[in-house]
Structure 1
Amino acid sequence: MKHTFCFLLCLILTRSYGQEFIRGTVVDKETKLPLAFANLSVKNTDITFICDVNGKFSFVNHSQSNILICTYVGFKKAECIFHKNETIVIELEPVLNDLKEVVINAADNPANGIIEKVIVFKEKNNPENVKSFQYSCYNKIIYDYNFLGNDKTDSLQLRQKLRGTHFFMMESVTERKFMKPNLSEEVVIGTKVSGFKNPSFASIATDFQPFSFYNDNIKFFNINYLNPISKGSLKKYKFHLEETVMREKDTIYIISFKPKANKNFDGLKGVLYINSKKFAVQNVVASPAEKGKIDIKIQQKYSLQDNEYWFPEQLNFSIQFNHFPNEHTPMVIDGKSYISQVKLNLPLDKNGFGLQSVRLDEASASKDSLFWKKYRVEPLNTVDQKTYRVMDSIGQKKNFDSYLSIVEKILQGKYPLKCLDVDLSKTLLYNRYEGLRIGSGFYTNERISRKFSLGAFLGYGVKDKALKYGGEFIFRLLKNNEGQLGIHYQNNLIETGSYSNRSAEDNFLNFRRFIGYQYDAINEIGVSIHFRSFKYILWDLRFNQSKTTPKYSYEFIFGNQSFTHYNNSTVKLDLRFAYREKFVNSFHQNISTGTKNPIVFVSFSKGFKDFFKGDFDYTKIELAVEQSLYTRNIGATRYRVETGYVNKSLPYGLLFTGEGSHDKNMLLIMKNTFQTMLPYEFLSDRYVNLFLSHNFGGLVFKRNKFQPVLWWHNNIGWGALSHEAFHKLIEFKTKDKMYLETGVEFDNLIKINYFNLADIGFGVGGYYRYGYYSNPEFKDNIALRFTANISIK
């Protein structure tokens, strides 16, 4: 027995001594960046494995061979000698063409057959088709500069300024829960950002790339790229089986992909690692096929959960600003997300999901070292530690948090001045009636009270030489500012027709307000309550009493009465319903990320005669529905349908007008208006309008750098007016037949570099007015418009 034990002990020791533990990293020889999912094998053995998403690998060698063979798509094959318990770095040299140009008949291409099976199993393998799940995630993002080539001039002296630190660094820990079809809530329970004590923007770190690679379109920077594993992709993508790797009972197919030549669509290039078990994506490396101002690469790794579901395990991304600050030292953003503690098919309650899809926990910025030690997948290296130490010192000295508070206020349309906020929406306004309005508005901020705010505005029109002023008291019922009670007074101007739900679109980018020239002077006092209910409905209820004086020649005849001014007492309810609209709580506010569903606007007004001296009793209703849709291989469609009705004859300013935007001095396209119609050409007490636009994107034209974007527009309107004779001293038309216009727009005809970050694209559009309301002269039916947008391609 004793001899048997000694023999077994010697056998174990001999076996252990014969094994060699090897670890290392595979990197690009030129950039020194890690290569995710490189394929490795020990020469003359059956030992094969794939490195992880960070290019790292480790294995136990129980063979006599000490040579590693490494292959990776787009790089030359390399062999490396290793020694016992050694950490090695394998540098692979890029080849000129990263995807092999092999002409194979589609029917004989083995890669196509594999991709067809991937597409068949796509819906079953999509993690967001699981009934429900929850997980924890550690995120780390580093902003740095990539010093390329042998350029030693470094005109910005970045090497000296950084001094062994990253430019910027942030970490976060999130907990996410999901319930099919699309209920999702992610809470940032811990955050740490270099230079900041209270980083209110940390929630944006979770949304740099898609959660999984199974959507038909992969969206980067508002560009929809066709997924190579979407239905019909075999007609647009070229696939090549690069290698086949056996792993226990499964086979991993390594398939490269890129768009076929002469195919006009936004495509990706990269490598898919397909596991024969359910033909699921095990690993993927992908980036846009066309190089632009900004390059992005994603790397995703999936693992099998419960021996049934393939679920993301690690999500990496890399964003490089190719020419910012210059081409020798481009800025790079590298991010890593590690998913753990995955639980599937939990009995979640849909009522347990909040309004925000991503939000910051109030205590997220105050986590101690024990918290970070628990969640950090890999410890901080010396550069990371120095970044926090140096940047935190600089941030405290320069008071970075105070600059962050300014950014937060600007995003709310304000600018902070100690205990007061400047209201930017009431600062230096312009329209054709007043000319430039000199003045501003001020509100007390949270330094005085978080419960209430007192504000006032004052403005002087240079052209009309008149003062406008008013004040407001707001009591905040809820902490998120979506429950407010207010009292207001104003002596101001309101554009005729702006009582409609179009007034909700009054923002800085709504150029329609600049061409207004027909205004009513109002002296108004009112109370309001603003709140949200049922998660997706915003309510705004107001009672107003106003005296209105038209600032144009006008008389309203109603029965035996003549009105050149009038009193109006109304109760008005505005409602906005956006089903499944998603919000990210960032910068101390809810930022909408939109919804795929239609957005509904309802405006209901009731006027009361003889109540607070009101002159008219009436009911006014308006309804609008708008939506943006993206259809693969077709492009993006945007529509808005709106209608309104008034049950009584009312003065001009309370009816419907102002839907036109044709102005010879303002040659910009104005969304959801008639481009060939004069601002106040038609008057209605009931109407229906349709604004329909389609963006073909780059599907039509794509010739190297010249890639104009084609838009097609169709606008249709109808309206009617009862008792036209009641309105005196003013000219107008009615559109009781169809008003028709069609337009074509070409964006990005000319591109101008913008600080090496993006291109400002300029384009031109033309609209044609036809049908019943076309003008006698052809040139009067044409409206030319110019466009401007920002592009990273």
Structure 2
Amino acid sequence: MKYLAFLFLFCSFCVQAQFRVTGIIKDEASKKPLPFATIQSSSGRTTIADINGQFEFISSTVGEKMVISYVNFRSKEFTIDKTNHYSVFLQSKTKLSDNEINESQKKAESFLNRVYHSIELNNPKKALSTYQYKGYNKIVVTAHPDSIKGKIDTIKKFRKIKIDSTDFKFQKLIRKQHLFVTEKVSLFQFSNDKFKETVLASQMSGFKSPIYEVIGFNLQSSSVYEPRYELLETKYVNPISKSGLRDYQFELIDTIQISNRPTVLVYFKNKKQINKKGLEGLLFIDQENFAVAKAIMRVRGIIDLTAVHEFEYLSNEKIWFPTVYELKIIKGKNDDPIKILGGTIEFEGEYDELGTKREKSASDYSYLQSKTFYYDREINKPFTIDRNSVAIEIDEDVAKKDTTFWIKNRKERFTKRDRNTFAVKDSLAFFKGINAKLFFGRKIINGYVPLGFFDFDLRYLMSYNNYEGFRFGLGGITNERFSKNYKLDGYLAYGLKDDKLKYHFGGTTRVGNFSNTWAGFSYTDDVQEIGSTKFNIDKRVFKIYDPRPINVSTFYNHRTWKGYVETNFLPKTESIWQLNHSKIQPLFNYAFFDGEALYNRYDMTTASVSIQWNPFSDYMHTPSGKIEIEKRYPKFTFQFTESLPKFLGNDFKFGKIDVRAEYEKQFINGQKSMVLIQAGYAHGDIPLTHLYNNSPNNLDREVLLQRITVAGKNSFETMRFNEFFSSQYIMFHFKHGFKRVKLFNKVKPSLVLVSRMTWGSMKKPEQHVGLNYKTINDGYFESGIELNQIFSGLGLAGFYRYGPNQLSRFEDNIAIKLTFTLDLGL
């Protein structure tokens, strides 16, 4: 009986502990919400209202007193009764004069200036020599069942009554389980300015193995001290950065105690009208050392994001160290679909295609919540980070941890709804099937369609050029379902105009896991555009329609044996080391003269290395290889090619050096700038087939409308095919894209300004017989405007040629092009 009474009292206490109080705090005069007001209970607990003045409080007893306070407003007290929701109106104190407002703003700016100048002392990556800790992260996609009406409606459609039970079924589902749950346990290490996460365990509802792209997805910044704060892979100016002191408006709200230390509440918002999607939030600043003791970052727009950073004060180190990170994503006001986790989770827009406001459905109440708890902390103890060239490393047995491991490392209660979610075969079926979409997306973005263990290559199906005419083919490569350590590839193609069969076959084997090293061989009998030197390391980009080859008529046939090693063994690099032997036959009127004989056929044996160096990017190493998870610029590519004299019948002695530098900058306001610098240098006896044509993309026709084609990515749109050739060149491409502007429904063009220029020369021009061409010693210049994505990816562009190589007729210097931008939503 004694134990029964104790159990009854315990259950009663648990019931009382779940007494949930919600409310909103507003200005009594304007009726506008007061963001980040302080709510303090008589039991000593404190909470803060959010940016909309809304708050939630878990009370233990009815009758508890609550005090609401806000700067420049009179505090107000109320007592909790059985009411679940409270609307609290605060009266403003005497209105401040302009001088008082200015003094208040100056005081806030001065205070934040001290915070900024104390970053070096308070940032753990600057103040500590080493540290490591474990982190338990849990992401839940779910909804509050009580928020959904859950009724069965009847809809009259075409004189028939249709039962709509969507909300009812959704509410029934969501009471039992979540839509998606994933857990992760990681070891975080910092030493010698290197920070690495090693994923020790991960499990995702509905999947036997975790999806690596989801693991590597960066939901929020781990630090509040970096110049750029990141939310959902979008970077914002940090309020406590040098730019933030200029871009944000600050207000000192209140003073409260955190960990028995006085902290100042600072409210901030972006004061630039041009950037309405900037951060807004609250900083809790330690009054003594000006460190961040807690931070709330908020973005309101298409989606509403609230990120919370909590810290613990370490008295020995005199520093605030992170303990909990939390992010909540809910739907905002918008007219576009919302895509989260790379488009695998999608919410519909607020408005339909006719522009009328859409009635909310059950899925609109869904939200994503991510919470990370840090534990087992070790500070200033010497250790070495293994493989510190990667930012994230995933253990081989990441999906094989048993129940004991999870019970030991979970830092949040694993509820019945959590368990039910993992029991469902595919908990994300509601969101279109993440696994199938990611598997398909990995392939289609590179132009493959996976069918079982084989990926069919779309580029072989059909194409057209002036030499082969229509070209049809079939080919592809085996995928990881065939083998994780071996690949076979090949294709067959046939040109209707030249009546020739082309083919390729090859195979590779993995020889290194962490370095993602593959060794392979291949044989190819095909044609290639002359002067089209490519970087071997370049990845294939998916193009529904590649405009340049259509108008190309000068090709050469090559029968090539190739052996190669592809590896990432050097940090931040990808490289291909290659040995080629080719038999070349020009398929146009051309011969190469070496001073003694004319060659219309020749053998070439070359060794080459192609390296792409991405020094500022972050990589994730998975059991299946490396993934570039954070692309940062600039990026550099180098390629060195050298012929091997008298080896396998090689006819010529020559060498080539090719370099490229790429830079992209994504601005917070949606604009984007791109710069490409590329150069090549060839020396020795080298035929025109293997020199440089500078990527022309214009037809040699009299009438302007007859020259309309589709613009390339980095081609010269006003330069005619075979107009210029070079043995050494340098070219510059500049682009600046502005934010898309909505003109009409589904008509949202993006304006891009383009400017290109190149210089080149030809050594030993007497060696090339049969083809007339010019050199670009004095330079070639063109500029233009692109209006991309006017409708469904289609756009229009215009370019103008000027400078020393300008043509005599004005209209011949103009090129009008169609543009096409493919958005796979991946």
TM-score, normalised to structure 1, is: 0.81
Write the deviation string for residues 30-76 of structure 1: whole angstroms up to 9, x where unpaired: 9xxxx998733246x9x463479998878999xx9931224689999
Does residue 1:276 correspond to 2:287, yes or no? yes
Write the deviation string for residues 386-437 of structure 1: whole angstroms up to 9, x where unpaired: 2222346999xx9997776555555676544444443455454555654554
**Bigger shift: residues 586-595 or 149-158:** 149-158
The alpha-carbon deviation at position 590 of structure 1 amounts to: 2.3
Q: Is the 8 A contact 1:106 1:112 kept in 2?
A: no
Q: Is the 8 A contact 1:270 1:286 kept in 2?
A: yes
1:363 to 364, 375, 397: 397
* Aligned equivalent of 1:39: 38
1:173 to 178, 185, 190: 185
The alpha-carbon deviation at position 175 of structure 1 amounts to: 1.2
**Secondary structure of 1:116's match?**
helix
In structure 2, the CA distance between the partners of 1:443 and 1:707, relative to structure 1 (3 Å rule), is: closer
The alpha-carbon deviation at position 504 of structure 1 amounts to: 2.2
* Aligned equivalent of 1:771: 803
Does residue 1:657 correspond to 2:690, yes or no? no
* Aligned equivalent of 1:685: 727
The alpha-carbon deviation at position 121 of structure 1 amounts to: 1.9
The alpha-carbon deviation at position 770 of structure 1 amounts to: 1.9
The alpha-carbon deviation at position 179 of structure 1 amounts to: 3.0
- How is 1:455-474 mapped onto 2 (pairs within 5 angstroms)? 455-462=489-496, 464-474=498-508
Does residue 1:310 correspond to 2:305, yes or no? no
The alpha-carbon deviation at position 656 of structure 1 amounts to: 0.8
- What amino acid sits opposite 1:40 in the alignment? I
Q: Distance in 2 between matches of 1:261 and 1:253?
A: 24
* Aligned equivalent of 1:591: 627
* Aligned equivalent of 1:491: 525
**Secondary structure of 1:108's match?**
helix
**Bigger shift: residues 415-424 or 113-122:** 415-424
- How is 1:432-447 mapped onto 2 (pairs within 5 angstroms)? 433-434=467-468, 436-445=470-479
* Aligned equivalent of 1:719: 760
* Aligned equivalent of 1:196: 207
The alpha-carbon deviation at position 244 of structure 1 amounts to: 2.8
Write the deviation string for residues 174-201 of structure 1: whole angstroms up to 9, x where unpaired: 11112353x2321221112111111233
- What amino acid sits opposite 2:40 in the alignment? S
Q: Distance in 1 between matches of 2:669 and 2:309?
A: 25
* Aligned equivalent of 2:235: 224
The alpha-carbon deviation at position 236 of structure 1 amounts to: 2.8
**Bigger shift: residues 409-418 or 352-361:** 409-418
In structure 2, the CA distance between the partners of 1:640 and 1:719, relative to structure 1 (3 Å rule), is: same
**Secondary structure of 2:399's match?**
helix
**Secondary structure of 1:772's match?**
coil
- What amino acid sits opposite 2:763 in the alignment? S
* Aligned equivalent of 2:574: 538
The alpha-carbon deviation at position 713 of structure 1 amounts to: 3.7
Does residue 1:625 correspond to 2:661, yes or no? yes
The alpha-carbon deviation at position 537 of structure 1 amounts to: 3.4
In structure 2, the CA distance between the partners of 1:592 and 1:432, relative to structure 1 (3 Å rule), is: farther
Q: Distance in 2 between matches of 1:791 and 1:284?
A: 35
The alpha-carbon deviation at position 685 of structure 1 amounts to: 0.5
The alpha-carbon deviation at position 107 of structure 1 amounts to: 4.3
In structure 2, the CA distance between the partners of 1:338 and 1:124, relative to structure 1 (3 Å rule), is: same
- What amino acid sits opposite 1:496 in the alignment? I
The alpha-carbon deviation at position 734 of structure 1 amounts to: 0.6
- What amino acid sits opposite 1:686 in the alignment? Q
Q: Is the 8 A contact 2:209 2:399 kept in 1?
A: yes
1:325 to 348, 356, 359: 348
Does residue 1:738 correspond to 2:776, yes or no? no
Q: Distance in 2 between matches of 1:94 and 1:221?
A: 35
Q: Is the 8 A contact 1:203 1:585 kept in 2?
A: no
- What amino acid sits opposite 1:112 in the alignment? E
Q: Distance in 2 between matches of 1:334 and 1:73?
A: 31
The alpha-carbon deviation at position 442 of structure 1 amounts to: 4.0
- What amino acid sits opposite 2:306 in the alignment? K
* Aligned equivalent of 1:215: 226
In structure 2, the CA distance between the partners of 1:432 and 1:384, relative to structure 1 (3 Å rule), is: farther
TM-score, normalised to structure 2, is: 0.78
The alpha-carbon deviation at position 521 of structure 1 amounts to: 1.6
Structure 2: state its 5+ residue gaps: 1-15, 26-33, 154-163, 338-346, 351-359, 700-705
Does residue 1:520 correspond to 2:556, yes or no? yes
* Aligned equivalent of 1:781: 813
The alpha-carbon deviation at position 675 of structure 1 amounts to: 3.4
The alpha-carbon deviation at position 531 of structure 1 amounts to: 2.3
In structure 2, the CA distance between the partners of 1:50 and 1:408, relative to structure 1 (3 Å rule), is: same
In structure 2, the CA distance between the partners of 1:211 and 1:635, relative to structure 1 (3 Å rule), is: same
The alpha-carbon deviation at position 720 of structure 1 amounts to: 0.3
**Secondary structure of 1:676's match?**
strand
The alpha-carbon deviation at position 471 of structure 1 amounts to: 0.8
Q: Distance in 2 between matches of 1:704 and 1:123?
A: 49
- What amino acid sits opposite 1:768 in the alignment? Y
**Bigger shift: residues 782-791 or 609-618:** 782-791
Write the deviation string for residues 225-254 of structure 1: whole angstroms up to 9, x where unpaired: 222222143443222333332457633322
Q: Is the 8 A contact 1:141 1:205 kept in 2?
A: no
Q: Is the 8 A contact 1:215 1:230 kept in 2?
A: yes
Does residue 1:134 correspond to 2:118, yes or no? no
The alpha-carbon deviation at position 209 of structure 1 amounts to: 1.1
* Aligned equivalent of 1:120: 117
In structure 2, the CA distance between the partners of 1:628 and 1:654, relative to structure 1 (3 Å rule), is: same
Q: Indicate the percent of aligned positions where both proteins have the same amino acid.
A: 26
- What amino acid sits opposite 1:362 in the alignment? E
In structure 2, the CA distance between the partners of 1:94 and 1:713, relative to structure 1 (3 Å rule), is: farther
* Aligned equivalent of 1:18: none
Q: Is the 8 A contact 2:186 2:197 kept in 1?
A: yes
Q: Distance in 1 between matches of 2:76 and 2:463?
A: 66
Q: Distance in 2 between matches of 1:439 and 1:315?
A: 53
- What amino acid sits opposite 1:138 in the alignment? Y
* Aligned equivalent of 2:104: 108
The alpha-carbon deviation at position 703 of structure 1 amounts to: 12
**Secondary structure of 2:132's match?**
strand
Structure 1: state its 5+ residue gaps: 1-20, 753-759
- What amino acid sits opposite 1:494 in the alignment? Q
